Structure formats: C-alpha cells, structure tokens
Chain A
Amino acid sequence: MRSEDDTHDANDLDYIDDDFVDNESDDEDGYYDFLDNDESDDRQQQNYIILSEADIQHHQEEDINRVSTILSLPRAAACSLLRHYNWIVSRVTDEWFADEENTRRVVGLLEKKPIEMPNSPELTCGICFEDYPRDRMNSTACGHPFCSVCWRAYIGTSIRDGPGWALSLRCPDPSCGVAVGQDMVNLLATDEDKEKYSRYLLRSYVEDNKKIKWCPGRGCDYAVEFVLGSGSYDVCCNCSYGFCWNCTEEAHRPVDCSTVAKWMLKNSSESANMNWISANSKPCPKCERPIEKDHGCMHMTCTPPCKFEFCWLCLGAWSDHGESTGGFYACNRYEAAKQEGTYDESENRREMAKKSLERYTHYYERWATNESSRQKALVDLHSMQTEKLEKLSDIQSLPALQLKFTTEAWLQIVECRRVLKWTYAYGFYLPEHERAKRQFFEYLQGEAESGLELLHQCAEKELQVYLDEESPSKHFDDFLTKLANLTSVTRNYFENLVRALETGLKDVEAIDQQATCSRASSSKTMDGKGRGSGPSDSMDDTNHWLCDLCTYANLKSSNICQMCQQRRS
C-alpha cells in the first residue's frame, strides 16, 4: 500500500518522480496519487485468460498433439479421446495407462492395426446394398465397407443431428462401434459439413471444458478460461462485457451468485407489479407536470418556471440530499411506514402483504434505476470516446491524451452504477434484525450514492459547459483536476465498499453487540469540516472517527481511512 511517509525517507529516489511530484504534492493527496497509482497497485492479479478463436484453436491443437505424442496415436484418435474426457489431457493419459483396453472400447478405437476391407474386386455397401469396385469403397479402422455416397449421407445426417452425434460418430455397422473421426469426415463429407464439423470441434473444446466458457456478451466470439480456485468470479471480456464466470450473469460483485439467482427469480415473479417503474417519466412532485429522465444522475430539475430540484428516486427535494443537510444521503434507506391504530387479522395480513411489496419495490426501483443509469453512462462513454473527446480537445486546445480523465471518469461511473445496483439486492436480503449492520450498510450505501452522484453530475452536466464554449476556458484545468480527484476518490470508495460487503460487513458484528449501549456522540467528529459529519444519530460514534476526505466512519483502532487511505487528522 502506498504511504505518504515513504517519499520523505526516500529522498534520493525523488528524481524518479520528478515529472509528477513537486514538494507541495505531499499535502494534496488525490490527484498525484491518481497519476502514479494508475492500474498497477490496486488491481488484483487477473485470474482469467481471454481466448480468441485463434487462441482456442491453438490450445486445442496443442492438447491434441500432446496426447497424440504421449500415446503414439493418430491425430483423429487423440481428438476422440480428448473429446470423450472433456479435453483434460491428464484424464486421458490416466485412463489410458490405467486400462488401455477399456479406454479403447469406450471411445471406439481398435486395438492394434487397422483391418483392411475384404479383399475382392467388388464389395457390397452395407447401407445401400449396391455393389461397387473395391477402390470406390471406404471404411474406418474396422474394415466395414460403405460407398462414398452413403458415407457422405451418414456423416451429413449426424452433423444435422448436432455436435453430440457428429463428434461421437461410430461405424454404421451395428455390431461395430469403431469411432469415425475427423480424418474420415475430411475425406468423405461435403465441404459444408467439414466446416461444420470443425466448428463443432472448436465449440466442444469450450463447451465440454470445465475451465472455459464463452463470453455471453451479445455477438462476442471470445471465450474466457478461468483459473479455478482463485478469488472473485467477475471477469471482463475484451468486448468490454463484464460477467460472472461462475453463473454467467452480468458481473455482480459484491453480491454472490445465489443471491443474484434469488433476486432475478424474485424480479421475474414480481414483474407484473413492477411494470410502472420502467417508465422514464414521473410527475414533478411540486407542479405535477411529467418530467422525462434523459440523463444518468438522479438530480432532477423541473422545467421553468417551476425549476424545482428533486431526487428521481424518492421524489424528495434535492436540498434534503446534499451537503446542506450534513451530507447524509438517506434516500437509499428503506423505512417501513409506521403502523397506526389497530387492525383485525385479515386487515393485518393485507397490510403485511402491502408492506412486503412496498419494501421490495423500494429496492427494485433503485436496482433498476441504477441499471438504466448505467446503460445511459455506457452510451455517454461511447459518445465521449467517439466524438466529444475530439470536440473538447479542439475547443480547449488540449491534446486528447490529456483528456483521458474524462473517459476514465465515465468508465468509473459505469462500474460504480453496476456495483450500486447490486448493493440494492444486497440490502434487500440483509436481515431486518441485524440492525446495526443494516444501519452501517445503509450509511455506506448512502455515501456511495452521494459520492457517485457528485462524479456523475460532474462528468455529465459540468463537462457539458466546457463543450458548449467557443474558446478555451481558464477554469478547464481546475475542472479536470476536480474530475480526476472525484474519480479517484470514488474508485477507492467503491473498491472498499465491495470488499466490505463481500466479507459480510464483519467489522460491524462487534458493533451489533454494543449497539444498544451508550449513544454518546462525539462532538469532535460532529462538527468536522466539509461534508464530513455524523453518519446517523443511531451510530455509536465513540468507536469511530470520520475521514476528512471521504467521510467514511472508521473504527478507532485504525489510523488510516479504510475507504480512501487518508490519514486520520
């Protein structure tokens, strides 16, 4: 982990950083950190390999050659063996050396030398029963003769029946069972069928292989090989589609696969109830005119003369969401409406059903809105890369390379919207009775929402100002610095958030036990500067200090912010 102190102890090495670091940079964390942090430090070691079609072919050929060499078998035989044992080389050799006779029988490989066809000038085809000269007949290693017309039809039929049939094809003689391999196909089938067969073979190398899966991205031809038993299942394909290698749903850290499956099932069973949510239009909470949501962030402004600013998610005034209310962004939190009066049994049950739907709706709406926000951000990222970047570079007369922060910001927004989306499935399944955990979770999630909102707004609306200008703006540099800073802080925050949620918010378990005790609030943190302030009145603040930079509530035991690595002041 990078530490500010190191730069003092290593003065003699300063020249290495000359381009980036001046003396003042020690106080200014984010920006320069961001410059030399790029990629290297934080990213986990990649535990998967992306394979193009050529790569797959290459790997497959290597495996076939290995088996063919080790067992001294022809290529087609090695191929049949590998396919039968799911392309695991060690499995093939193990089976072979344990019981060669049985392995040969199972796969359909004859012992010893191939048998010649009967030695007479004319032979009868075993399918059409016509007689042909011997040199117009063919057989596999078993010597059962069939004419080329029948072979072609036989192979063609198996290919039409699908890869399962074609790749395990045997001699047509019912008593025989000798394998018909790719050598026979290439010798006897039509060109179209040869092509199909080799596609089947390639597909089999991925589909029958426990370590490789096709990327489920639309129109994508890459496959991903996963190093089993290592870390997270989230992979990002070269086509830019991110997915979970384990369940092949879209990438879903920090939520695990079974929660995703449960959540998706819930969504499909409730879809009739949720139809209204997909609409991109809601009435303004003040003037009631319909407002279209045409951008990604949640901060809405009604058209003049109303100009009411509100939150798309909860329809509350935006002024209740920002720094002015102490930075606590509470619209992510679900609070069941207070139960009033008394109900009889059936009324009570109805009320419960209504509550449970309300609760689900709360999470679903936020899950779905973050997804559509992410989709919007993907579109914006694309337009940034294809047109806006160039335009911005012209207007501000800066080389496009210096504008890379803008695309990085958008990439970060896309990723954060994805994480945020899944935190709502996480929240939905977080048990109600683990109250301190829930509160802490909602606090972290709220901070994530508001932090991302700042970044999204900055990349979306504030950037637009500079795109609308005619000539270079002297504020543009400052803007870039702000954007880069926000990106960096948001990235750190989200990475830590993911880690915290993946470990099940372990830190909080301790608090959960004390939550009912003292509620003394620390004045030191409550009047902290900037956005920093108390997480909520129910948090036990004596155990925490709030980070100046990101407002994360850290445990007293650590002096470095768990979210952004800022030192405790």
Chain B
Amino acid sequence: MTSTSSPSRKALSKIACNRLQKELVEWQVSPPAGFKHKVTDNLQRWVVEVVGAPGTLYASETYQLQVDFPEHYPMEAPQVIFLHPAPLHPHIYSNGHICLDILYDSWSPAMTVSSVCISILSMLSSSTVKQRPADNDRYVKNCRNGRSPKETRWWFHDDKV
C-alpha cells in the first residue's frame, strides 16, 4: 500500500554526498533523542525509527520515517514521509505525507535530518487529538499516481496543534 518505490531520482552530487557523510557521522556520535537510524549502505535513502515521547498521545508507539535526498541536497529539501502505518495526527495523511512547512517552502540548507526529525517529534508531541486531517481522503486520492509530497502546494494548517 505504501509506495516505497520513490520517483526515479538522480544520484547525489558530490556536495550532497560530503554533507550527508558528515551528517551520518554526527548522527552516530549524538543521535537525536527518540530516533534510531537503520543503517544501510544506501546514503540517498534513510529509514529512521521514531518512538513517541513519554507523556504524549504517542508514548512508546513506534513509527518509521523514510527520508529521500535529492541530487542537490541540502539546497533542495529532502522528501520525508511516514512509512505505513503513519501515526494518526491532524497534520499527517494516511499515505504518510506530512504537512510541515520546513519540509517544503521553509526548508533551509542549514537544516539537517536531525533537526527535521526533532521538528517532527515535537509536532507529534504537541498533538491533543489522534485524528486524520479533514481533507485526508481527497488528498490521498489525488496522490494515488505516486505524486511526491514535494509536488503538493501546501496550505499549512495553523501551527497551534
């Protein structure tokens, strides 16, 4: 059901490789709390395990994030989605797409996988209700042809949740 086959992607540029190598080393030295990187030999796709923070709606639940890097990372944002099953959250669609501005318009090349993970966890932690976005069915239907969340024109839900 979840599309693990990402759209055909160009190989990482040299700059992107260097930068990811450094991020990987940094991650191994001090991983962000609550995350575990399942190391493979594929530098261009990371799969990261998230454990819901204690005292939140998602406490001790485990989810998996898939992070795909574009050729010109970090000038371009990585594509980050939840693998099936995605957490029930008002900003997370059932196909794993995440409505979070830093993954799209507000991405900055000074951000890292680690800082993105921390933002996603804080988004989960601050949720007060376990439910899908109101437009879930419509959105997921529109994505059926394998559209990347980066091709969506996001209207960001307000930041209060």
Q: Mark A residues whose CB is within 8 Å of B.
A: 126-130, 144, 146, 149-150, 153-154, 157, 172-174
B15, B23, B76, B108: the one contacting A174 at CB < 8 Å is B108
- Within 8 Å CB of A173, what residues of B? 108, 110
Closest to B16 in A: A128
**Do most interface residues of chain A lie in helix, strand or loop, or is the interface mixed?**
loop
Cβ-neighbour of B109 out of A130, A144, A172 (below 8 A): A172
Chain A positions within 8 Å of B74 at CB level? 127
Q: Which of B114-155 contact A (CB under 8 A)?
A: 115
In the complex, what residues of A have CB within 8 A of residue B102's CB? 174
A80 to B: closest C-beta gap in Å: 18
Query: Size band of the B side of the interface?
Result: 10 to 19
Residue of B nearest to A124 (CB): B22
Which A residue sits closest to B105, measured CB to CB?
A165
A127 touches B18 (CB 8 A): no
Contact with A along B17-47 (1 / 0, CB 8 A): 0110011000000000000000000000000
Is the Cβ of A157 less than 8 Å from the Cβ of B76?
yes
CB-CB under 8 A from A172, the residues of chain B are 108-110
- B75 lies within 8 A of chain A by Cβ: yes
Q: How far is the CB of B114 from chain A (nearest CB, A)?
A: 12
B18 touches A126 (CB 8 A): no
B59 contacts across to A, CB distance below 8 A: none
The reply on B111 being an interface residue by CB < 8 A is yes
Whether B19 lies near A128 (C-beta < 8 A) is yes
Q: How far is the CA of A314 from the CA of B72 in the complex (A)?
A: 66
- Does A126 contact B19, Cβ atoms closer than 8 Å? no
CB of B90, distance to nearest CB on chain A (Å): 24
In the complex, what residues of A have CB within 8 A of residue B108's CB? Answer: 172-174
Residues in A whose Cβ lies below 8 Å from that of B23 = 129
Residues of chain B within 8 A (CB-CB) of A150 are 109
Contacts A127-B109, A127-B110, A173-B108 given; does A153 touch B75 at CB 8 Å: yes
Known contacts: A128-B15, A174-B102, A174-B115. The answer to whether A154 contacts B22 by CB under 8 A is: no
The answer to whether A129 touches B22 (Cβ under 8 A) is yes
Nearest-neighbour CB distance to chain A for B49, whole angstroms, equals 24
**Bound state CA distance, A532 and B137, in angstroms?**
73
- Shortest Cβ distance from residue B14 to the other chain A in the assembled complex, whole angstroms: 11
Residues from chain B with a CB closer than 8 A to the CB of A144 are 110
B73 to chain A, nearest CB (A): 11
- CB A140 to nearest CB in B, in angstroms, measures 13
Whether B18 and A174, one on each chain, are in contact in the complex, defined by CB atoms closer than 8 angstroms, is no
